[in-house]
Structure 1
């Protein structure tokens, strides 16, 4: 079945499982649909009306995720550790700011992803996978076969645990930038593990 023809099906002959597989077998993600000239949103991406009705009954509250500023951490370790402890106990999560990863590198990462996505689909297919043993994975929707509705997104996943990401696993068009970003994020992770062990002292 061609995913591009899926929106023309009637309710009676709609087969969600086949449409999901057809989309996944393209190995091109949602951008692949656009590049293929699809003008109607495939039904796997359309949320049921009852979900919207349910959301209308929810009263959303503006919440501010706790920010923890790592600027000058070496001069004020205990205060930052206290902030992490408080945020973890009260919220269960937090976000770092001024975390040491250069802003120009973050911008280069964004540009690198754009460059990858603009490549020929046959090049991108080499990296499209759901294989859990791969350290680098490019695909669309990590929960594609389990969620009620597919999300209009693509994603890259880099596993930074051992074994480490190898250079040849990363697309050549953005390889240097990604490997540098991985090094910076790894340093940040090691730094945090070292200093935040005080949380358990």
Structure 2
């Protein structure tokens, strides 16, 4: 067995994650965490970890979204979302309706899970994709062959209205359930507003059944002794339709915009919204799915929770393509039809850090006739 693969396996078999390395008191990171030079922080100063730039991610205030007609804010909010998704693919959302206490409880309970004695959480450590609840370090560890500086607690939900809470770790069971169910109203609002931002009826995305809450990843980024040599998460776009991200007060999240990596400073009480590859596909490129990453830092732990929205059940194998309402002779289809299941399978085969899967395999080369 190749020595590097053996080292990856030895780390994985310990089932203690990055947190276990930090607890052991290491002063230098193991070689399996050292990223290739192309993934290094480049012009980022690893001390403060951020690029200084006047560009800032759009902040959208959802207050008044239900006010229609003259004097209402809905049309203004829809226009802000349209511009953000066309230009950035991301926006920060405030006054979104999810109580601050619910956000705080999720972050706290995620931290408590990761910081409990190792033997209490090792039973959840797994790479079995059929398990609904699992804990692991670097999801594509053996594909990218580079460990990333984070541990993750992952949940897959069949039906968020009838969650089987007993399958969740007791230390964060109630908090996870409350948070996920609190997002149901928000994802319905986002579905309406994004539909309208596309110039379609407010129920259009709902009719496609593509925005169902399916997965929650709770990430834990321990402080890193050599943050300039590794990454929290390698660059990637999301393969889903929409992502709702909660992050704590510690910086590290960055988006690729205008040919540079830009810091997204934490904004207390906000949620970060971004379109995924499948949203870019069905909007024929009108709304962007943008690469992003998390840099490692000396300060931590940093906590975040990413909730992914995508089809459920049989809708995972039905074909999705550019919406007919958004294509024309002057704007022919840019992407071929694909099912969510097919797309995710191809995406997963490439690993994080690779060229964007949507552009690499699903984009038409002849955009004049869609063939």
TM-score range, shorter chain: 0.7 to 0.9
Identify the residue that residue 21 of structure 2 maps to in structure 1: 33
Aligned positions of 1:98-177 closer than 5 A: 98-147=95-144, 149-160=146-157, 162-164=158-160, 165-177=163-175
| Structure 1 residue 83: Cα displacement | 1.1
2:34 corresponds to 1:46: yes
Identify the residue that residue 7 of structure 1 maps to in structure 2: none
Structure 1 pair 50/112, CA: closer, same or farther in 2 (3 Å)?
A: closer
Identify the residue that residue 95 of structure 1 maps to in structure 2: 92
Q: Matched residues in 2 for 1:191 and 1:86: separation? A: 18
Q: Matched residues in 2 for 1:98 and 1:70: separation? A: 5
Out of 24, 27, 36, which is 2:12 matched to? Answer: 24
Q: Matched residues in 2 for 1:81 and 1:134: separation? A: 38
Q: Matched residues in 1 for 2:94 and 2:151: separation? A: 25
Structure 1 pair 101/14, CA: closer, same or farther in 2 (3 Å)?
A: same
Higher relative contact order (CA 8 A, sep 6+): 1
Q: Matched residues in 2 for 1:22 and 1:109: separation? A: 31
| Structure 1 residue 32: Cα displacement | 1.8
Identify the residue that residue 74 of structure 1 maps to in structure 2: 66
Per-residue CA deviations over 1:116-150 (Å, capped at 9, x if unaligned) read 12222222122222222333332111232233632
Structure of larger gyration radius: 1
Asked if structure 1 preserves the Cα contact closer than 8 Å seen for 2:5 and 2:145, the reply is no
Asked if structure 1 preserves the Cα contact closer than 8 Å seen for 2:165 and 2:173, the reply is yes
2:53 corresponds to 1:65: no
**Structure in which a larger fraction of residues adopt strand:** 2
Structure 1 pair 180/91, CA: closer, same or farther in 2 (3 Å)?
A: same
**Structure in which a larger fraction of residues adopt helix:** 1
Q: Matched residues in 2 for 1:135 and 1:187: separation? A: 23
Per-residue CA deviations over 1:74-106 (Å, capped at 9, x if unaligned) read 122121111111111122222212212111222
- Could you state the TM-score of these two structures normalised by the residue count of structure 2? 0.45
Question: Any stretches of 5+ residues in structure 2 without a counterpart?
Answer: 45-50, 68-72, 201-371
Asked if structure 1 preserves the Cα contact closer than 8 Å seen for 2:112 and 2:171, the reply is yes
2:52 corresponds to 1:55: no
Match of 1:138, SS?
Answer: strand
Per-residue CA deviations over 1:25-65 (Å, capped at 9, x if unaligned) read 2222111223345554211112356765x9259xx662311
- Could you state the TM-score of these two structures normalised by the residue count of structure 1? 0.78
Farther off after superposition, 20-29 or 38-47: 38-47
Number of residue pairs the alignment of both structures matches: 185
Identify the residue that residue 83 of structure 1 maps to in structure 2: 80
